[in-house]
Amino acid sequence: MAGAAIRLSGVTLSFGGILALKGVDLDIHAGDIHAIIGPNGAGKSSLVNIICGIYRPEAGSIDFDGQHLSRMETGRLAKLGITRTFQNIVLFKGMSVTQNVMMGLTHKTRSTPWGQIIGSARARREEAHAYEIARAILARLDLTQVQDRAVNTLSYGAQKRVELARALIAGPRLLLLDEPMAGMTAGEKVRMIAFIREAQAHSGVTVILIEHDMGVVMELSDRITVLDHGKRIAQGTPSEIQVNPDVIDAYLGVAHADDGDDAVLAA
């Protein structure tokens, strides 16, 4: 979707005097799948949590399609078209797969709580519409066969897809994926890569991806930003990042190629 670009300028965040992010600048192009990578403790999750409004930056600004996010309430972000998944699965275990996905449209509900309780005409129309959209999203993610099951009866990989479906149902303009492949088997990762690609191609959504699996990152991303100790040390295409000496040092602690070492970042 044209215009759905995000820019971070000089973003700084600290916890108890320890800097988690140090003057981070970041431009993410509309329609890209942009990965944020770095060693453990580099500041990746802090960066996503700042974009989502969970943390407030101490300095710097965040702009999304002309809107300033730095001081915006978290509840307003969904209305701007910003959704996310979590590193640890966050689903309503006692509800069905379809019901979980429908929850992704809660912020668009116009019927009153009382209308929902008594089943007003508007509430019934909204529920029927949400049900129809949820079923369509589940079909795209190959979850039709489990759509009526309690979500806690599904495999870990399937639950990850349910969480992705819930993030996609509202038609986001910016989708934040925090380690969507964590805990998956190799086969589940292959499928998830295909689903994320299909979702991006279908809607043009801009994707920010945090992922530790470098094979996944190199295959899925259009561009990559690398953080180390809260600082941006590199940004570029996957092929550029693979041979960047600063990135190799941060991940592997090896000599640069021009020092006689041919090491590259593993894909």
> pTM here?
0.83
CB neighbour class for 259 (10 Å; exposed up to 12, middle 13-18, buried from 19): exposed
Q: Which residues of 46-84 are buried (b: 16+ CB within 10 A; e: fewer)?
A: bbbbbbbbebebeebebebbeeebbebeeeebbebbbbb
Strand-pairing partners, residue 174, are: 82, 206
Higher pLDDT, residue 161 or 67: 161
Average predicted confidence (pLDDT) for the chain: 84
How distant, in Å, are the alpha carbons of 12, 17, 162, 164, 247 from that of 107? 30, 36, 18, 17, 40
Question: Domains, the chain, ranges and CATH?
Answer: 1-81+171-267 (3.40.50.300), 91-170 (no CATH)
* DSSP 8-state symbol, 228: E
Q: What is the pLDDT of residues 173-199, one digit of tens each?
A: 999 999 898 888 999 999 999 999 998
* Chain centroid offset of residue 190 CA: 17
Q: What is the pLDDT of residues 152-169, one digit of tens each?
A: 999 988 999 999 999 999
pLDDT at 149 over 90: yes
Q: What is the pLDDT of residues 6-65, one digit of tens each?
A: 999 999 999 888 889 999 999 999 999 999 999 888 899 899 889 888 888 999 999 987
**The length of the chain, given as a count of residues:** 267
In the numeric block, which tokens belong to residue 208? Answer: 């920010």
How distant, in Å, are the alpha carbons of 101, 240, 243, 249, 257 from that of 261? 49, 17, 11, 12, 4
pLDDT at 248 over 60: yes
Query: Of 160, 214, 256, 192, which Cα lies nearest the Cα of 35?
Result: 214
Query: Do strands 82-85 and 174-178 pair parallel, antiparallel, or not at all (unpaired)?
Result: parallel
Model confidence band, residue 109 (pLDDT cutoffs 50, 70, 90): low
Model confidence band, residue 128 (pLDDT cutoffs 50, 70, 90): confident
In the numeric block, which tokens belong to residue 242? Answer: 């693979």
